[in-house]
């Protein structure tokens, strides 16, 4: 039984564009899960890489969330302002974990040609030192060891051998930016989130974040990965597949659709009700067991 005292959740969009329906579903699922037990729900903007931040996207995201009644507790956290904390965590990992310098250009990783879940996986070339000491270097974590396993509240047991999935992954990039996995794990630890509820497209990156957390000596949160909204072609909705921004002129409709997608269609007499009323209903009626299953994840979860 999860209670208010020990629930702190968050939504962490990347401001590379406006929010599409898939992101709204993740935000609605995560906030409802927090509200249902009287917990807190926070907002973090994952603006780590300045080249990926679209002009105006942060304001658009904040306005979109507010229009849908997706209000958050406390101040907005910006990942880009946490560089010192990320660096300190990286230094701790360099001291305590099997972290090594890698100077491999993409072409060298391509030549090895090892297939992985996100394209080619890193073959471990620099584990025992690198031949070009002056070259720009990233820093990788040696991931060899037991597979990482976690119990997802929606997917069930999830197991991944990170070495077979992606190989040693980057913690700190050659352009002096922390990797997404390092920053995400560190920020989730710093802010004391107890519950990470997000889209199932991120389930495959969870084992890497768990590994970083373990090396940092942090506790493990509860995980819940929500079903993905798909394009009619079967592809997941993302900025790449040009999913259009949500229509914030009809917030109640968007909210109803998001709840329905999550297996919580409001009763017909609530159609057209104001956003606040829909939230009150969602908070009362949230049952995570009613989430639809994500069939495409059955290979790794079971």
Contacts with Zn ion by CB under 5 A lie at: 102, 104, 125-126
Nearer to Zn ion, 26 or 126 (CB): 126
Nearer to Zn ion, 59 or 132 (CB): 132
Nearer to Zn ion, 130 or 248 (CB): 130
Q: Write the DSSP symbol of residue 11.
A: E
Nearer to Zn ion, 123 or 263 (CB): 123
Nearer to Zn ion, 104 or 211 (CB): 104
Q: The tokens of 186 are what?
A: 């560190």
Query: Are 288 and 154 contacting, i.e. CB atoms less than 8 angstroms apart?
Result: yes
Nearer to Zn ion, 60 or 112 (CB): 112
- Residue 106: CB minimum distance to Zn ion, A: 11
Nearer to Zn ion, 88 or 135 (CB): 135
Q: Is 302 exposed, middle or buried (0-12, 13-18, 19+ CB in 10 A)?
A: exposed
* 253: number of Cβ within 10 Å: 13
- Residue 170: CB minimum distance to Zn ion, A: 10
Detail the DSSP E strand segments found in 81-211.
99-102, 115-116, 119-120, 138-141, 148-152, 156-160, 169-172, 195-199
Paired with 245 in beta bridges are 20
Query: Are 189 and 218 contacting, i.e. CB atoms less than 8 angstroms apart?
Result: yes
- Residue 141: CB minimum distance to Zn ion, A: 12
- Residue 176: CB minimum distance to Zn ion, A: 18
- Residue 179: CB minimum distance to Zn ion, A: 14
Give dist(CA 257, CA 41) in Å, integer. 21
* 126: number of Cβ within 10 Å: 21
- Residue 104: CB minimum distance to Zn ion, A: 3
Sort strands 156-160 and 148-152 into parallel, antiparallel or unpaired.
antiparallel
Q: The tokens of 181 are what?
A: 């996995």
- Residue 242: CB minimum distance to Zn ion, A: 34
Cα maximum dimension of the chain: 69
Give dist(CA 164, CA 246) in Å, integer. 37
């Amino acid at each position: 039984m999860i209670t208010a005292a020990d629930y702190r959740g968050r939504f962490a969009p990347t401001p590379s564009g406006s929010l599409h329906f898939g992101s709204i579903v993740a935000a609605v699922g995560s906030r409802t899960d927090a509200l249902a037990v009287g917990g807190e729900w926070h907002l973090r903007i994952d603006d780590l890489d300045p080249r990926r931040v679209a002009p105006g996207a942060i304001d658009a995201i904040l306005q979109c969330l507010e229009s849908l009644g997706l209000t958050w507790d406390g101040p907005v956290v910006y990942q880009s302002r946490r560089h010192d904390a990320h660096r300190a965590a990286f230094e701790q990992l360099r001291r305590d974990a099997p972290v090594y310098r890698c100077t491999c250009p993409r072409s060298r990783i391509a030549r090895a040609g090892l297939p992985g879940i996100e394209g080619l996986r890193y073959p471990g070339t620099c584990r025992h030192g690198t031949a070009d000491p002056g070259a720009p270097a990233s820093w990788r974590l040696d991931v060899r060891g037991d597979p990482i396993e976690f119990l997802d509240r929606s997917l069930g047991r999830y197991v991944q051998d990170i070495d077979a999935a992606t190989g040693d992954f980057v913690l700190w990039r050659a352009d002096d930016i922390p990797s997404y996995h390092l920053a995400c794990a560190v920020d989730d630890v710093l802010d004391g989130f107890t519950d990470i509820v997000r889209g199932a497209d991120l389930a495959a990156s969870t084992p890497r974040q768990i590994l970083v957390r373990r090396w940092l000596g942090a506790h493990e949160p509860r995980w819940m990965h929500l079903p993905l909204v798909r394009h009619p072609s079967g592809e997941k909705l993302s900025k790449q597949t040009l999913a259009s921004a949500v229509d914030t002129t009809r917030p109640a409709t968007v909210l109803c659709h998001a709840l329905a997608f999550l297996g919580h269609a409001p009763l017909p007499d609530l159609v057209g009700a104001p956003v606040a009323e829909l939230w009150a209903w969602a908070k009362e009626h949230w049952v995570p067991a009613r989430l639809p299953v994500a069939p495409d994840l059955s290979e790794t979860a079971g």
